[in-house]
Amino acid sequence: MSPGDLAAKYGLAVSGKRPSLGEYTRRLWSRRHFIVAFATARLTATYTAARLGQIWQVMTPLLNAAVYYLIFGLLLGTSRGIPNFIAYLCTGVFVFQFTQSAVLSGTRSIADNLGLIRALHFPRACLPIAFTVIQLQELLFSMGVLGVIILASGEPLTLRWLLVLPILFLQSVFNAGLAMFMARIGAKTTDMAQLMPFIIRTWMYTSGVFWSVSTFTHKAPHWVAVILDNNPALIFNDLMRYALMDSVSSSSLPHHVWIITLAWAAVVGLGGYMFFWKAEEEYGRG
């Protein structure tokens, strides 16, 4: 008898065989408590050795904002024409760092956890999703400080602040999908982890973190303006600014902005999930 016939006769199955997408999703959902526990433990361990501990969750984006304000706001003058530039800048830095950190950690999530992958059987998508949850926890911890900065800068507390919840949900779905997409690539091409910081930095410069993209798109060719205006990182930045800053009006947002945001979250979230699932059997091999 062939090996396949013997396996069928005794009810044996291939170890680590990729399940169907529906079964994979069911198994992933059953590991949701593991994902949250893993993310919380990793986040706590990250700052254990630091003297200031988890205060660095807030200090890191604040220090980045201070550096960007010095260089772009004061030296290069990109603050001209932007009302309440400090709130504008801090919001952009905090929101973009959520995506940046999720993508960078997702890229390394498989390669840096081979011991865990080879020791335990679980849906490998748990790892990039868990690292996205880590970054979301950091952002939620920082949002309180961001709210204080925005209020101290003169912005009022309005009902638009409630929009923060759907914005963060859609951005989390987008980030998780992108993290899973990059996790598969990073598992095969380990040099991608070295390349990604440069790609992310370029993306940041085109995402209106510390300057207004509209000052460029008014003069740019139409196709360039369309690409820049539909940049998902820019859309999440502008939506969060609209939610938190009364000085940012709805006229500054792209037409059908919520439809575009939902489309980005659905396409990247689901696409990244399916792209990652396709290679489930390959993670940890070799």
Position 193: which residue type?
A: A
Tens of pLDDT along 93-125? 889 999 999 999 999 999 889 888 888 888 999
Kindly tell me if the per-residue pLDDT of 189 is higher than 90.
no
Whether 275 and 184 have beta carbons less than 8 Å apart is answered as: yes
**35's tokens:** 């994902």
Q: Burial code of 234-272, b = ≥16 C-beta within 10 A, e = fewer?
A: bbbbbbbbbbbbbbbeeeebbeebeebbeebbeebbeeb
Closest CA to 273 of 124, 133, 139, 137: 124
Predicted confidence band of residue 264 (pLDDT cuts 50, 70, 90)? very high
Reported confidence tier of residue 14, pLDDT bands at 50, 70, 90:
low
The residue type found at 86 is I
**Alpha carbon distance 46, 56 (integer Å):** 10
Please report the pLDDT score of residue 1 as a whole number.
64
What is the number of other CB atoms lying within 10 angstroms of the CB of residue 97? 20
Please write the tens of the pLDDT for every residue from 225-253.
Answer: 888 889 999 999 999 999 999 988 888 88
Cα 246 to Cα 157: distance, rounded to the nearest angstrom: 8
Tell me, what's the pLDDT at 228? 85
State how far the Cα of 133 lies from the Cα of 170, in Å rounded to an integer. 13
pLDDT digit string, tens, across residues 127-164: 999 999 999 998 888 888 888 889 988 899 999 999 99
CA distances from 179 to 176, 186, 276 (A): 5, 10, 9
Position with higher pLDDT, 224 vs 183 = 183
* pLDDT score for 13: 62
Angle between helices 192-205 and 164-188 (to 10 degrees): 150
The secondary structure of 244-277 as a DSSP string is H-TTS-GGGSPTTHHHHHHHHHHHHHHHHHHHHH
pLDDT band at 286 (very low <50, low <70, confident <90, very high): low
Report pTM: 0.88
Q: Is pLDDT larger for residue 22 or for residue 81?
A: 22
Query: Is residue 28 over pLDDT 60?
Result: yes
**Nearest in space to 182 (alpha carbons), one of 197, 165, 166, 160:** 197
SS3 content of the chain, % helix, strand, coil (to 5): 75, 0, 25
* Confidence bin at 7 (pLDDT 50/70/90): low
Q: What is the pLDDT of residue 276?
A: 96
> 10 Å Cβ neighbour count for 144?
10
How many angstroms separate the Cα of 78 from the Cα of each of 130, 205, 213?
A: 36, 12, 10
CB atoms within 10 A of CB 204: 19
- Are 184 and 279 a contacting pair, CB within 8 Å? yes
Alpha carbon of residue 62 to chain centroid: 18
How does residue 265 score in pLDDT terms, banded at 50, 70 and 90?
A: very high
Mean pLDDT confidence for 166-193:
94
**Which residue in the block uniquely carries the two structure tokens 């539909």?**
230
Q: Which residue has the higher pLDDT, 77 or 115?
A: 115
- Residues 108 and 130: their CA atoms lie apart, in Å, by 12
